[in-house]
Structure 1
């Protein structure tokens, strides 16, 4: 049995190449003989099919993020399945995914992967660290919150935790295999203080000098926890700030306020942890005024990095259920945030194209801002500024994704 990670990666040298953790989990549970990471190896669909031949295989349609990357990857997986006689497909939008009960009791089959192939995100190593030796891990599955734009509950409802000792044993193994940059894939790592503190206490004791990032939420962090995370190696936390309007946030079930955002940023910064801010343009009640407020907030918070997204009605989300069919993408590629053929949602006041153009311009404006670049130079050095300027040579949506040939 072969488990396949089909190629759907961004060709930009700034992008991460992430070890396919869902392939490793499925390989362990299915007692697979091998994992073919076509994404890391840069294989086309045809090359992948030629290698597999008539072998039984499982094509895993799960990316680094269950919403943003897994949905557009479904088209690639289905096309590959047409080329391989004995293939089945597993992923967010398919039924044959492992249960959460089975996941918490096993360790991914990392032995079947060459971990030297993987590299961290550009921002993860802005301080000049070597981006190689990049590992990923889950300490929990699912999320206790129900934001309208998220479809994680299609996969698992609620949140289920792994034993901290199992998590640490897996980190020990990854470090022994050369991992020095690490991502906690948990949808929300900071929701359970006791869980976080036990993992971080044990990591601090090991003194691995890891460069770690993970996802956090305003209202779930406190100064003591953040300082403990910093001691354990957390240098970056990603917050889903999403909007600069409390009213817009309430409209999509996002239980936070701008006051909480600024409080979380202050605590995180005092702990010495850098901040990645996620922001969404084009939520259902957005107009130009509220989108400008979101753009303005992203600068006021002083994040070291931002991700600007367009609102997408991912299948399985409440937003998908509430969206008229004519406003949904016609192809899987339409769900790809950075595809030339991306099709975000229109709002009550704006067209899909207006939202998309606003996002693209906001991205260029943020990363070319002189004040921002000066802050980056003070914190990380001139090499980090040069890295960002190199990134800006890539158009936000100028390079077609692999899925563009599948429409």
Structure 2
């Protein structure tokens, strides 16, 4: 098999934060496109030459500059990843690539494709893609390149969607890969120094993402992760994870890891095994991740802290136990209260995220949620408006009016969680939800103890940058959408 030249593109995404993009660019978790890094690693191991572009990190001033960069590489195949609000942009990019690089195979993958399946080609934002990949894409993409190179039909490639004779063809689902058999992510193809983050006790440092497992056994109504990963959870062996960490440290000198597992402590056995391996190999590192309140205990957290855990984020979602039941979260408000107290006792920094606009939400339950979050031992929070992404149970609930929900749009470019609700619920209009999101941010961050904490941990310089970005976002959220100006390109200075 001859070598193909393959371009893989992660489109810029900060605009999906709407008016809050200013704060997001300094305060949101650095999102290295780990999925594309895995695809790049698989393609390179198959003998192909790969270009990997993270348009968000590289800050192309114009979309045409990105197209120029792709064209200069002279690719035989170009692949894009897309979330739901980015599919309109990706559709436009595929059209431009077709014009600039005629003959190149164009491919689209990502969570949106896996959520809508055949709908990817019948939607108003249908990309001009020769094929779309659903599910886990490493093996599918490599098999697709092989079929294309040999001039074979795509029918025999599992995990594909494509058009033929005016109809959409969907091949059988690809078998989930054995995680230890996958090529390691090709981080070296990225500008890794662009991913900076403020680390507790360390200041702003270069970071990278890592996964130790795939899949999630839970059924939260708002989540679409099961559309990509099967419900059965698969784990990487601890030794394989340690090998990757050692490679990261040798290649890049990076000593802080953003663990992107959907639930860091899902398996107590796996978590403890990883901690033991870190100790055995004498690795000098810190790490952080996401988990649930019902999957932590003091012994586990103490062990993980000794291994390097410095920060945990919990998806609190609501301050109403009735709403937590309605969205199938499987946790209670008291669980989160205990989890945050435990983290404070042990000395692990915490974050939280929550949403407003759930089914059965009212103005009173939103007020209750804001008061509840402000009562927790947490010092940083992300406030989202519930967004019914396609493929989720929440989308069907909104279409059917469950819990007072009303779906206002199926225009995917409107599906932003910040400053742009696409639902109404009971006594809350879209404008009400937008205002309450702003109110929640102000009431959380303008408390003296929160301001003092973030100043102390971030330092004057970073605190000033964060404060300016926060103020710009709040002011932008007051403007009509037509007057929202895009945030200027900025350097990766790291966030709070």
Which residue of 2 is the match for residue 114 of structure 1?
191
Of 117, 130, 146, the residue aligned with 2:219 is 146
> Structure 1's 50 and 380: CA in aligned 2 closer, same or farther, altered over 3 A?
closer
1:282 is aligned, of 353, 357, 373, to: 357
Which 4+ stretches in 1 moved above 4 angstroms?
A: 377-385, 396-402
Deviations 1:123-176 (A, max 9, x none): x43656123x21001111121101001111111122221112111111111122
1:88 to 103, 107, 131: 107
3-state SS of the aligned residue for 1:130? strand
Report the Cα distance in structure 2 between the residues aligned to 1:129 and 1:270, rounded to whole angstroms.
Answer: 22
Aligned match for 1:105, one of 154, 177, 181: 181
Q: Does 1:189 align with 2:264?
A: yes
Contact 1:19 1:135 in 2 (8 A): yes
Q: Tell me how far 1:370 sits from its aligned partner.
A: 1.6
- Is 2:77 the partner of 1:57? yes
Shift of 1:204: 3.2
For the 8 Å contact 2:385–2:437, the answer to whether it is kept is yes
Check whether the contact 1:135–1:183 (CA below 8 A) recurs between aligned residues.
yes
Distance in structure 2 (CA, Å) of the matches to 1:303 and 1:261: 10
- Indicate the residue corresponding to 2:472 in structure 1: 394
Report Cα offsets for 1:353-397 as digits up to 9, x if no partner.
211210112112211222322344566665665454233222145
Tell me the SS of whatever aligns to 1:393: helix
Higher-RCO chain (CA-CA 8 Å, sequence separation at least 6)? 2
Per the alignment, residue 67 of structure 1 pairs with none
Supply the distance in 2 between the matched residues of 1:300 and 1:57 (Cα, whole angstroms): 52
1:77 partnered with 2:90: yes
Structure 1 CA distance for aligned equivalents of residues 303 and 462 of structure 2: 27
Separation of aligned partners in 2, 1:105 and 1:400: 45
How has the CA–CA distance of structure 1 residues 142 and 328 changed in structure 2, closer, same or farther, with 3 Å as cutoff? farther
What is the CA–CA distance in structure 2 between the aligned matches of 1:16 and 1:376, rounded to whole Å?
A: 16
Structure 2 distance, partners of 1:357, 1:330, is: 22
Q: Which moved more, 1:263-272 or 1:239-248?
A: 263-272
Cα distance in 2 for partners of 1:264, 1:276 equals: 12
Query: Which secondary structure state, in structure 1, belongs to the residue aligned with residue 472 of structure 2?
Result: coil
Match of 1:4 among 2, 5, 9: 9
SS in 2 for 1:392: helix
TM-score (norm 2): 0.73
Q: Deviations over 1:195-234 (max 9, x none)?
A: 1111122223444443321011011111111011111211
Greater alpha carbon shift after TM alignment, 19-28 vs 182-191: 19-28
1:302, distance to aligned residue in structure 2 (A): 2.2
Pair 1:279–1:268, CA change in 2 (3 A)? same
Q: Would the aligned equivalents of 1:58 and 1:90 in 2 still touch at CA under 8 Å?
A: no
Contact 1:367 1:388 in 2 (8 A): no
Unmatched tracts of structure 2, length 5 or more? 1-5, 15-20, 99-103, 114-131, 138-173, 401-405, 478-483, 488-496
TM superposition shift of 1:89 = 0.8
Query: Helix, strand or coil for the counterpart of 1:336?
Result: coil
Which of 316, 321, 327 pairs up with 2:407?
327
Give the 3 Å change call, closer, same or farther, for CA 309–374 of structure 1 in structure 2: same
Alignment partners' CA distance in 2, 1:47 and 1:102: 38
Partner of 1:234: 309
Check whether the contact 2:200–2:457 (CA below 8 A) recurs between aligned residues. Answer: no
Pairwise CA distance, 1:178: 2.0
Pairs within 5 Å for 1:8-407: 8-9=13-14, 10=21, 12-31=25-44, 32-33=48-49, 34-43=51-60, 44-53=62-71, 55-62=75-82, 70-85=83-98, 86=104, 87-94=106-113, 95-97=132-134, 98=137, 100-101=176-177, 103-106=179-182, 107-120=184-197, 124-125=198-199, 127=201, 129-131=203-205, 133-158=206-231, 159-176=233-250, 177-324=252-399, 327-338=407-418, 342-377=420-455, 385-396=463-474, 398=477
1-side partners of 2:485 and 2:35: how far apart? 25
Structure 1 residues 332 and 233 mapped into 2: Cα distance closer, same or farther (>3 Å)?
A: same
